[in-house]
């Protein structure tokens, strides 16, 4: 499958959304922990795992989106036509 510019935008948007939403989630979780609210340790473990996994997904999607963006840029297309013209 060939990735297009619209795919790059989608991947980058999802990555940014994941980072922003889970950073907010992490901040709220930290506030809950420091406020003295009684919660089981499993509550914090489960939520920290969710945060780490979703931030890892954001990194993967961000890298994929960035590579797709660069591959579909006008300069990348120009470079490939110049290279084929040399042959």
Can you give the pTM of this predicted structure?
0.78
Q: Is the pLDDT of residue 73 over 60?
A: yes
23 or 74, greater pLDDT = 23
Which has more confidence, 1 or 16? 16
For residue 34, pLDDT beyond 60: yes
Residue 18: its pLDDT value, please? Answer: 97
Amino acid 86: pLDDT: 54
For the packed helices 5-34 and 41-71, what is the interaxial angle rounded to 10 degrees?
160
The residue ranges of every structural domain in the chain are 5-81
Q: Which tokens belong to 87?
A: 């042959």
pLDDT class for 80, splitting at 50, 70, 90? low
pLDDT over 90 at 48, yes or no: yes
Beta carbons within 8 Å of 39's beta carbon, 6+ residues apart = 32, 33
C-alpha–C-alpha distance, residues 16 and 8, integer Å: 12
């Amino acid at each position: 499958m060939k990735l297009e510019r619209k795919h790059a935008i989608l991947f980058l948007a999802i990555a940014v959304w994941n980072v922003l939403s889970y950073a907010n989630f992490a901040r709220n979780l930290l506030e809950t922990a420091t406020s003295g609210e009684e919660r089981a340790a499993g509550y914090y473990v489960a939520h920290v795992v969710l945060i780490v996994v979703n931030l890892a997904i954001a990194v993967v999607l961000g890298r994929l989106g960035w590579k797709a963006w660069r591959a579909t840029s006008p300069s990348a297309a120009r470079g490939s036509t110049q290279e084929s013209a040399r042959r």
